[in-house]
Structure 1
Amino acid sequence: MNSILIAIILANVLMSYKGFNDHNFFRKYEFHMGRVLSGQYVRVLSSAFLHADIAHLAFNMLTLYFFAPVVMHYLGDLYFVLIYIGSLVFGSLLTIYFHKKEYHYRAIGASGAVTGILYSAILLRPDMMLGLFFIVPIPAYIFGIVYLLYSIYGMKAKNDNIGHTAHFGGAVGGYLMTLIIMPQLLVDHVLMVALLTIPIVVLFGMAKMGKL
């Protein structure tokens, strides 16, 4: 396994484990809207290395383990790190944009960064097949579209504790950064690029109309 990928996974494991056993540490570094808006910007980054429990941590790290090699293979280690961090930040910024009036809003997890890597991999390999629930094969681009549409539904319904906004923001970050790094994809995979744009247009269209 690539040493950079090992370092990222290890950082997530160690910080999450510390958070599992130290409530004060967890509260100090989680994403808390009021604290972030008051100037505690470190939470934008630190919250992405905390997780709610072992299952939450394992799911995110397993997803990263499967899709990071695709991005590294096509773009190299440096761009992989840039997309990971950029997607993380983009997910937090979109969360701030949509939840800035909810001062008690809290969020944790690497989902934004990991989803950014997932969407980068989908753009680079749109012919890739994913195993839904590790069993049912589904084309990567269909998964991408459905996932973002589900995230929009989750943002609107607000009936669970999942950070759908960070997921969506991370996906958009990974999507945009990958196209900037490799604009040739706009020619080589033009149909897939267009299809993956649909949920993004839908999201901001609904926001403009006040539907979120």
Structure 2
Amino acid sequence: MNATIVIILITCLISWLAFKDNRWFTELILWPPAIKRGRQYYRLVSYGFIHADLSHLLFNMITLYFFGSLIEQFVSNYIGVAGYVALYVSAIVVSILPTYIRNVDNPEYRSLGASGAVSAVLFAFVLLQPWSLIFVFFVPCPAIVYAVLYIAYSIYMDRKGSDNINHSAHLWGAAYGVLFMLCMEPRLIGVFLEQLSSPGFLS
């Protein structure tokens, strides 16, 4: 059992407990006043282990399952399994910080879900294998094409602000995943650019 599976199991368990008992939900969700005034800094991490509903949970965990193991193996070769866990947990924090700062005095704001950390893992995969086919709602799509569309959509929806999804966390998580990988192995940028110039389906 690898660390990715352990993260998925822990997230599913905590999310299930929060579904069943609202006290878990209330204590773990990111709520700015509890962090600023109550010094409950753990919420900057705990919010990433609860979800709004089952579909939200499944989407994040299925995505993590398909891309996490490869990234875990790659990162572990450099800095160990603990390094991969550090990538995931730190992505939870980093992806939410801009949103938290914007809403630090907004008692009405709440945020939850692993999407920021999952975006970090997904974009780390895109950096490694930009032309790999991934399936988006059962439709095959090159990873780099999906990444561009994902970023464009997230920027548009973040500016529009018409739903309850934290698109900012998706963007910051994606950027952090790439930066983490490049800090760990700077030569990846050269490998990425070389792969980008040679699409696999044209070879």
Name the TM tier (shorter chain).
Answer: 0.7 to 0.9
State whether residues 34 and 104 of structure 1, in contact with CA within 8 Å, keep that contact through their aligned partners in structure 2: no
Give the equivalent residue in structure 2 for 1:26: 25
State TM-score, norm by structure 1.
Answer: 0.84
Q: Which runs of 5+ in 2 are unaligned?
A: 197-203
Give 1:65's aligned amino acid: Y
Aligned-pair distance for 1:121?
A: 0.7
* Closer/same/farther in 2, CA of residues 112 and 11 from structure 1, 3 Å limit: same
Aligned partner of 1:180 in structure 2 is 183
In 2, Cα distance between the equivalents of 1:121 and 1:109?
A: 20
Q: Does 1:163 align with 2:177?
A: no
Q: Does 1:100 align with 2:110?
A: no
**Identical columns (%):** 36
> 2 CA distance for matches of 1:144 and 1:102?
31
Residues 39-188 of structure 1: pairs in structure 2 closer than 5 A: 39-76=39-76, 77-134=81-138, 136-188=139-191
- The number of residue pairs the alignment matches comes to 191
Superposition deviation, residue 149 in structure 1: 1.6
Q: Distance in 2 between matches of 1:160 and 1:21?
A: 25
Q: Judge conservation of contact 2:120–2:173 (CA < 8 Å) in 1.
A: yes
Q: Check the 8 A contact 1:86/1:173 in 2, yes or no.
A: no
Aligned-partner SS, 1:106: coil
Kept in 2: contact 1:95–1:169 (CA 8 A) = no
Q: Which moved more, 1:142-151 or 1:48-57?
A: 142-151
CA contact (8 A) 2:92 2:173 kept: yes
- Supply the distance in 1 between the matched residues of 2:193 and 2:27 (Cα, whole angstroms): 44
**Deviation at 1:178?**
0.7
CA contact (8 A) 2:111 2:166 kept: yes
The 1:29/1:129 distance shift into structure 2, 3 A limit, reads same
Match of 2:13 in 1: 14
Residue 9 (structure 1) shift: 0.8
d(CA) in 1 for partners of 2:33 and 2:154?
23
